[in-house]
Amino acid sequence: MVETFNDVYNANERLRSDIRAAADPKNTDAEIWIGMWSWSDDFLLVETNRTLLSEIKSALEKNPNLKVYVLLWAMPPGTKLIVNLGWLPFKEGQALKDWPESMKSRFQLASQSLLLTHPLSSAHQKFILFRYGGESVGYCLDYNFDNFHFDWPDHDVLRRAQLGLKVPPVHDTAMRFKGPVIADFQHEFLERWALSNKPKEGPGAGETFPIQQIPADNPHLVANFQRPGTKGGDIKDWYVNAIRNAKNYIYLESQYFDNNEIADELIDAYYRGLKDPAPNIVFTLCSTKTVEPKSQVDGSLREVMRVRLSTADEIELMSGRKIKRSAPWGKVVVSKHATKCELEGNGAHYKIKFRNIKKINGGVRFVTMVTHSDTAKNNFQPIYVHSKVGLIDDQMTIGSANQNKRSFGEDYEANVMLTDIPSTHVVETFKQRLLGSAIDPKISGTTLLQKIDATARKNWERRHAGPPAPPVGLVIDYPYRK
């Protein structure tokens, strides 16, 4: 009843199968609802010569009863940054110009503007609902429908270049699900459509999707949503509570990380004893400035360094001096642009510039992702980590929400939470993607994090040793720069 996907190609391949199922003329009740941050009409599906839009057009041609509803965020005027990054708005007039009117009437495209109510917010949710053959299927994604995000699990740089796709490669995740949680996403979609520019042209308010019951031995699913103007919310609360109650291991992925509460919970979890056997807390974070404003990069780095320094067993300076922690620091302050810090404890007060730090030993582990490239410096090409994942003991979340201020207070967000997931489900999510080699699918989450840690350290050594050698997996110590 639940499937997880690492990277866009795998998710889109499964998405295509549902679109084609909805295209069957026998499915007279077929509908597709898409709630997305942005959709560029040239977004590739699976084949490099076929777009998501062309697949949906084909489905509408085959099934005269199929209806498609698309709800996008209406970008504020003058949003040049987003356009420059390639996250282009859907060009409805151009994209649908050759469609017959009978098909256009069954493809309703609406946009929700927050300019008057929450001008600094966006509708960042990314989910899809299907109804066909008396069943319902849902997807919760962390990627947008544009070719900046289209990538394969191996993040092949050469293949991207041959297609004219931008560098860096991008890492995303997605989840496909069935069951009662579908009704929560349906309610969210209808509520937002009512606030769109086409409130009367959407699906009926009383319309319901058929809901399948999940067998008792399947993971339990819960949908959590965040709305502009609400501080905290269910998604942030899930992270805080899950980390606070963690007993075995914590694994997180995020594009951004600047939330003080989650940082504090990670520090507390480390001192609670999750580090033995170490490491039992690993955070995979974006580590490339290729498309990021400096404020976002500095904000993430500031929180990372606060957690790293707060939990470090030893800080080794370039001068050879070693600062060892005998007890939790009484105070750790990191400067605004993450260039220096102050530490109080051990009966002393330290002021340290980050450029003078040679090595940080122990503490919460932060890694990022890289892949092989013959043209990149030392054969290492950074991967843009766009995913938003929490994997804590027997719980997991995937969705649109980053672990930062925007996602936890300013934007519309949507995540799916799972509980009681078997260890094989956990491990399969990370196979190949993080380690780059086959591993025993029965190993525990704790052992998996130890393997991630070992791979990240090995790649750091390979990256800084000569002659250049390609990475052995897809993870490396954070922060990483080419």
Average pLDDT, the chain: 86
More confident residue, 275 or 468: 468
Q: What one-character-per-residue DSSP string does 279-313 give?
A: P-EEEEE----SS--HHHHHHHHHHHHHHHHHH-S
Answer yes or no: are the C-beta atoms of 390 and 238 closer than 8 Å. yes
pLDDT tens for 166-179 read 778 999 999 999 99
CA–CA separation, 231 and 236 (whole Å): 9
Q: CA 211 to CA 474: how far, in whole Å?
A: 38
Task: Single out the residue of 415, 422, 366, 413 nearest to residue 395, CA to CA.
Answer: 422
**Residues 286/389, Cβ–Cβ less than 8 Å:** no
pLDDT value, residue 182: 93
Q: pLDDT tens-digit profile of 252-265?
A: 999 999 999 999 99
pTM (2 decimals)? 0.92
| Distance between start and end Cα atoms, the chain | 41
Residue 214: its pLDDT value, please? 67
Q: Is 233 left (phi over 0), alpha (psi -120 to 50) or beta?
A: left
pLDDT of 186 > 90? The answer is: yes
Each residue's pLDDT tens digit, 93-129: 677 888 999 899 999 998 888 776 787 788 899 999 9
Is the CB of residue 39 less than 8 Å from the CB of residue 146?
A: yes
Is residue 7 within 8 A of residue 389, CB to CB? The reply is: no
Taking only the tens place, the pLDDT of each residue in 328-337 is 888 999 998 8
User: What is the Cα–Cα distance from 137 to 185, expressed in whole angstroms?
Assistant: 11
Task: Copy the structure tokens of residue 372.
Answer: 């092989």
Q: What pLDDT was estimated at residue 88?
A: 47
